[in-house]
Amino acid sequence: MGKSLVLAGGGHAHMMLLANIGNIIAEGHQVTVIQPSDHHYYSGMGPGMLSTFYSADDIRFNTRFVVERQGATFVKAKVVGLEPEKQTVLTDAGESISYDVLSCNVGSFVPFDKIEGGTDTVFSAKPIERLLEAQRKIVSLCENSSISIAVVGGGPAAIEVAGNAYHLANTTGCKNIKVRLFAGKKLMNGFSDSIQKIVRRTFNRNGIEIDERGYVQSITHGEITLENGTTHKPDITFLATGVKPSKLFSASGIAIGPDGGLLVNNYLQSTDYANIFGGGDCIYYSPEPLAKVGVYAVRENPILLHNVRATLNDQPLITFDPGGSYLLIFNLGQGIGALQKGPFVWGGKLSFKIKDYIDSKFMREFQALEA
């Protein structure tokens, strides 16, 4: 007798599962995919979309179309709760959806709750769709030929947003552009000195100010206040303070890791419930902590595909190997990249071209499912 598979989210770690929905259905099972949007946006190309180097269509995957074309059910909603004992998923539309096997790829969020007053000029780096709204806001503000942009955060997402926000304002024709990166106490903390030098050199050349005098304490009616009491009132503010896993699992009483992510074993399987799996930013891999980078979601794809199908068909599971070092490339705007692979570091236009090639190839591979 066939079973019911529910995929919560259609992100990077679920791409191979989405591509194989037809095969899963052919094995006699039912498949339901739940996602807040018809499309899934590739976060690695989000800053490039902000600067208009990419269009929205370039970086998104039509999840609904691919799911429904293969005979599965697509539910446009946000998963807000899990009832693992009842084997049901709860959505913000008030639905209760049953499953025999559940795989979660519900992503992460940007944690910053010290905001008061209006937020029409404050944009978070996630969800990626917010960058489209920010893009329109910057273009509108640039009609005055002057713009002040603040980016809160000092890590990879922050430097990419800062560089590409500057790129957008510059190519829009703004005459007076002020971009300030509130990087806490150190820019790109935890990354090599070489990467930091590339970022500083690129930003200095473009007049992007790096503020390392302390963390942002609050944002009130658009005004930024630092720990030392200094205040700034930019025209637009981006929040890029890193990401944390969805609060879904802690709210549902399922075992979580130190960061709040779904605690999974080396099968990418919940340590509490054998019929729940997960991948991407929303999990905490119990054998060893994994960085919140897309490469791990991509590497998890074949394991999730195999183990979800194996559980549906009562077959043995296989283990996930996170692999060794991985390539990191940051998009600093204006066609400039900063690349690192192990001890090798390189900055410049070639670095960005490599990133563009890899990212575009990834998107074409999965967008081909729409053809």
Question: Where is the domain boundary, 305, 324, 343?
Answer: 324
Question: Does residue 224 sit within a domain?
Answer: yes
What pLDDT is attached to residue 294? Answer: 86
Measured CA distances, 135 to 32, 236, 355 (Å): 33, 11, 22
Q: What pLDDT is stored for residue 257 in this prediction?
A: 96
pTM here is 0.92
pLDDT at 293: 86
- How many whole angstroms separate alpha carbon 166 and alpha carbon 138? 10
Residue 93 is predicted with a pLDDT of: 94
pLDDT at 332: 98
Q: Is 320 in contact with 334 (CB distance < 8 Å)? A: no
Measured between alpha carbons, how far is 101 from 89 in angstroms, rounded to an integer?
A: 11
335: left (phi over 0), alpha (psi -120 to 50) or beta: left
* DSSP secondary structure, 115-138, as one string: EES--TTEEES-STHHHHHHHHHH
Residues 128 and 228 in one domain: yes
pLDDT means over runs of 10, the chain (371 residues): 94 94 97 96 94 96 96 97 97 96 90 77 89 95 92 95 97 93 94 95 96 93 92 95 88 94 98 97 95 91 98 98 92 96 93 96 88 72
Whether 334 maps to a domain, the answer reads no
Domain identity same for 124 and 187: yes
Quote the pLDDT of residue 120. Answer: 85
Domain range for 150: 119-242
- CATH label of the domain that carries residue 53: 3.50.50.60
Task: Write down the pLDDT at residue 178.
Answer: 96
Please tell me the distance from the alpha carbon of residue 63 to that of residue 40, in angstroms, as a whole number.
Answer: 6
List CB contacts of 60: < 8 A, sequence separation 6 or more.
Answer: 39, 40, 41, 42
| Among 242, 264, 288, residue at a domain's last position | 242
Q: How far is CA 74 from CA 60, 66, 83, 108, 206, in A?
A: 17, 9, 20, 21, 45
